[in-house]
Amino acid sequence: MKLKNSTYVRWTAFAVSTILILYFLPRKDGREYTYEVNRPWAYSLLTAPFDIPVYMDSVRAARVMDSLETRFEPVYYREANIEKNALSQFSSRLNTESEVSLSPLEKNSLTAQVRRAFEHGIVDAPTYKAINNGSLPSVRMIHDNVALSVPTGQYLSVRKAYAAIDSVFHDSRFTRALSASGLADILTPNIILDTAETQKLHDEMMQRAMAPIGVIQQGERIIDRGDIVTPQLYTVLGTYDAMMAKRGGTESVDFYYPIVGQALYIILLLGALYAYLYFFRPNYYDSRRVVTMLMITITVVTLIAFGMSRAFTMGIYLVPFAIVTVILVIFLDARTAVFTHIVTLLLASIATSFPLEFIFLQFLAGVTAIDSLKDLTKRSQLLRTAFLVFIVYSLAYLSIELFHSGTISKLSPKMFGYLAINSLFLSFAYVAIFLFEKTFGFISKVTLVELSDINTPLLRELSEECPGTFQHSMAVSNLASAAASRIGANVQLVRAGALYHDIGKIENPAFFTENQHGINPHDALDPVQSARIVIGHINDGLRRAEKANLPESIRAFIREHHGSGKAKYFFNTWCNTHPGETPDEKLFTYPGPNPQSKETSILMMADAVEAASRSLKDHSPASISALVNKIIDSQIEDGLHDDSPMSFRDIKEIKEVFANRLRTMFHARISYPEIVKPVPGNTLDNSPQS
């Protein structure tokens, strides 16, 4: 039934992950491409579906436009009515103003100067400013539908025209006449900008300048995978995109084919991960929580990457993909972490413009995180990892830019900022580790190190209430961790689990031999009552573990360290005192279950061996080896290790470790000689005998 449930969970997780990733996967209609100048084309061969005009690239076009703008002559026209009306008004005022004391000849001379100013041409202030700074050396004057280029050197502003007229006459009477006649108001520009004609000619000039310089005919090659997108190709691709958008669906791709391809892409990647687990990590493959954790991690990180890529162009580089490797190398192993990291990157790369560079950067970051966290025991190691990841990110980005552009001038400070923020997010992986511990029941080495501190409240209470049990737990912890190290089990988990396996004895410390001092309360009890009290330390320990919020993996040591074995001392005692009667074995049997992992199996062996070794009279190597073999073989014979993945080779090595450790613990010590003090009055002659 358990296997069926694992299969259901495994393939449900596979289906849900596939559907979610497929649903949120960035869609393209088959005609959308992302590309940048001086970057390689990331797609397959692109041919022209129709004739595509080739225009100058933006750099050349900008140079041409700047040149044309510099040489462009705006269109002006001379307004004769302004000149005519101004002269008429000026003459009238000269003849009617009483302050004007000039003769008719002098008035005519003054009027002639005004006429000459208009003949030179009077322009508005902005035009005169352009003429004066040299940006408008000539203008176009249209005469009989013919545009003529006219130099602007003779044109005057209103102020310059007035000054020129005033400078001709030195008599103060002329100055008073100019002022009295209001010449400053009469002088108005008669050379006027023709806005409409100027714009028309400007547009025509630009259209001719920006006309296609060639054409890519239908079916002709535009660009192929790996080609560098030059400025000219960038312009061609922009023209292609614009024409495709204008044509709408005439070149549309079947809607279903991309969906099928995307689904197959996702299924193959996730299927590859499942195949890896099946062949190389079968214990992970059969574990519902491991498979669920892997699928949730891949799906969540991939969906975040999709969302960030949609939010803004480089948003995907803010996603700390290396956090996947950090979590998995802590809870599982480095090989699985690398494989899962690659699958995640290949899924997320769909949302990037340059998948090869993206995978290169993130793969190196993930490997760096794994290498720097071989044994996570301190939170500060995450800060070191984040710093190393940023260094590797920066070097990888530098190598990409030098590879493509051959210069460091195009390095983007903004990109370094994104990578720094990404690395900073990685330093907060401890929060994710905590959430995974609470959600999936995993336990990290950091937590195990903290739990192994004998100053924790629970272990301190054990040492105070049950000093004998505490010393026993310490000895079992050392014995079991040495065996775990030999066979490649989780040493830190065994060490911590051994320290807590007997915390249930705190409830009734005097009923356990290691805490007794000459008085044995079991002498006054029936073997059934004694067995119930001794067996009860399992459930008592589980209640204390739950109250102290100990992780499930630690509770497993409490639950499984006696398995479904019997309290043999009391069982045998009952049988001896009730000859001929059939005992109720359930009254003398621990609740179990039997050890489910190598770690809990090691603890069961170490617990029994350490306890038995205390009653051993002969501490010779042969006697110790015989004791170890007898106890472990008895457990195997009783089937207590049948549910554990322990191999015969593991058991052989564990026996060797236990025997060697116990021989060291019980090695004979030499007696230190005492100083013999001489007896007063008795002098010893130590001189050589002849």
Contact 344, 447 (CB under 8 A): no
Contact 128, 160 (CB under 8 A): yes
Report the side by side order of strands in the sheet with 138-143.
146-151, 138-143, 75-78, 191-193
pLDDT digit string, tens, across residues 388-437: 999 999 999 999 888 877 778 778 888 899 899 999 988 888 788 888 88
Query: In 3-state terms, the chain is what percent helix, strand and coil (to 5)?
Result: 65, 5, 30
Predicted pLDDT at 144:
72
Q: Which CATH class, in words, describes the domain spanning 455-665?
A: mainly alpha
Regions of the chain where pLDDT drops below 50: 1-3, 29-30, 249-253, 684-690
Which CATH number is 2-25+256-440 given? 1.10.1760
Contact 562, 604 (CB under 8 A): yes
User: In CATH terms, are 2-25+256-440 and 455-665 the same topology?
Assistant: no
CA distances from 80 to 94, 153, 192 (A): 21, 20, 11
Predicted pLDDT at 672:
60
Please list, in sequence order, all residues whose beta carbon lies within 8 angstroms of the beta carbon of residue 86, skipping any fewer than 6 positions away. 114, 118, 186, 187, 188, 190
**Vertex 329: Cα angle to 326 and 332 (nearest 5):** 135
State what percent of residues in the chain have pLDDT above 90.
36
Q: Which residue, among 362, 312, 369, has the nearest Cα to 342 in the 3D structure? A: 362
pTM of the model: 0.64
CA distances from 503 to 538, 548, 555, 654 (A): 9, 11, 11, 25
d(CA 389, CA 368) in angstroms, rounded, equals: 6
CA distances from 336 to 221, 291, 299, 332, 513 (A): 44, 12, 16, 7, 46
Predicted pLDDT at 31:
53
And the tokens for 391?
A: 């260094």
Q: Collapsing DSSP states into helix, strand and coil, what is residue 523? A: helix
Q: Which amino acid is at 289?
A: R
Q: Which amino acid is at 497?
A: G
Q: For 360, what's the count of Cα atoms within 13 Å in the CB-facing half-sphere? A: 13
The DSSP code sequence of 527-595 is HHHHHHHHHTHHHHHHHHHHHTT--HHHHHHHHHSSTT-B-HHHHHHHHHHSTTPPP-GGGGB------
The DSSP code sequence of 161-213 is HHHHHHHH--SHHHHHHHHHTTHHHH----EEE-HHHHHHHHHHHHHHHTS-S
d(CA 463, CA 480) in angstroms, rounded, equals: 20
Backbone angles phi, psi at 580, to 5 degrees: 85, -5
Predicted pLDDT at 561:
93
d(CA 354, CA 267) in angstroms, rounded, equals: 22
Residue with tokens 């900022």: 417
How buried is 381 (Cβ within 10 angstroms: 0-12 exposed, 13-18 middle, 19+ buried)?
middle
Q: Collapsing DSSP states into helix, strand and coil, what is residue 156? A: strand
d(CA 581, CA 575) in angstroms, rounded, equals: 8
Contact 219, 15 (CB under 8 A): no
And the tokens for 266?
A: 């996702």
Where exactly are the structural domains of the chain?
A: 2-25+256-440, 75-193, 455-665
pLDDT digit string, tens, across residues 200-253: 888 888 887 777 878 888 888 888 877 888 888 888 888 888 888 777 644 444
d(CA 99, CA 104) in angstroms, rounded, equals: 14
Q: Collapsing DSSP states into helix, strand and coil, what is residue 147? A: strand
With left for phi above 0 and alpha for psi between -120 and 50, is residue 481 left, alpha or beta? alpha
